[in-house]
Chains A and B, each alone.
Chain A
Amino acid sequence: MRNTYLRLLQLVTGILIAVLLGVHMVLMHLDAILGFFGVDVKDVTSWGSMIERARQGIWAGLYIALLAVVLYHALNGLRNVILELTPSARTERVVTWAIVAFGIVAFVWCSYVPIALLSA
């Protein structure tokens, strides 16, 4: 039952990522084609462009939301891949808690940075 809900969340986060990361990919990589359609994204990886986005709450919020869904989807996916090898119950617990701990640490650190950069 518990794994059923984890699986359902995997599907929901998958759709959310397809939308959010789709926007991210188009903005970061399709600069020439966007320029053709009159959207000027400038040099997205320059410090000026990056820090301008980092100062806006909407971008920080979007990135933290994306971080949460991506971390869940990626780490749950990794857990599924490992547990498909049907390890012992003890190994399964160790894997689960290692992944949960890593996810929490990664989420806290990686959402602290955009919040700190809001006032950069």
Chain B
Amino acid sequence: MRQIQPRRNYLGAVGWLWAGNYKLERYLYILHRITGLGILLFLLLHLMMTTVFRIQGQDVWETTMSILHNPWFKIGEYLVVIAFVYHALNGLRLILQELGFLMGRPIPPIYPYRDSLRKKRPWTIAMIAVVVILALVFFYDFIIGGW
């Protein structure tokens, strides 16, 4: 049976960064991808740390932890937390929109038009605001909790 081929992605990986006149949501998509790949990288290191180094007993664990309590790792850890918060909240927004929420009911196209972009933009702004607030909360705790 002949298979229907998907349309070719002519821009390749460059198209992830730039493929035309972008609006806010499209930049969030790039950030979603970057944070996703960043968290994947962290996940691999984290799984190594919590398995290979943990199973070898207390001494190896404490040596690993003393290396990871270095300020540079703490900064990296903070970035991972922020990436997770962003990825989770933006993902939630995408799920809600994919299922048709937050966009209002469809109406006939009669002037003055009400498009879905204008309906969902306030939710996007609200999502960014929540991310910023949570980033500040975690920043406060990282400072107070000591490096």
Contact = CB atoms under 8 A, between A and B. Distances in A.
Given A31-B145, A70-B43, A18 B92 contact: yes
A50 B65 CA distance: 12
B50 A113 contact: yes
Contact of B40 (A22, A33, A74, A116): A74
Contacts of B77: 29
Contacts of B88: 14, 17-18, 21-22
Contacts of A14: 88, 91-92, 95
Contact of B6 (A29, A47, A86): A86
Contact of B84 (A25, A33, A50, A106): A25
Nearest to B3: A89
Interface residues on chain A, size class: 20 to 34
Contacts of A45: 65, 68-69
Interface residues on chain B, size class: 35 or more
Contact of B8 (A47, A50, A86): A86
A32 B54 CA distance: 25
Interface in B68-88: 68-69, 77, 81, 84-85, 88
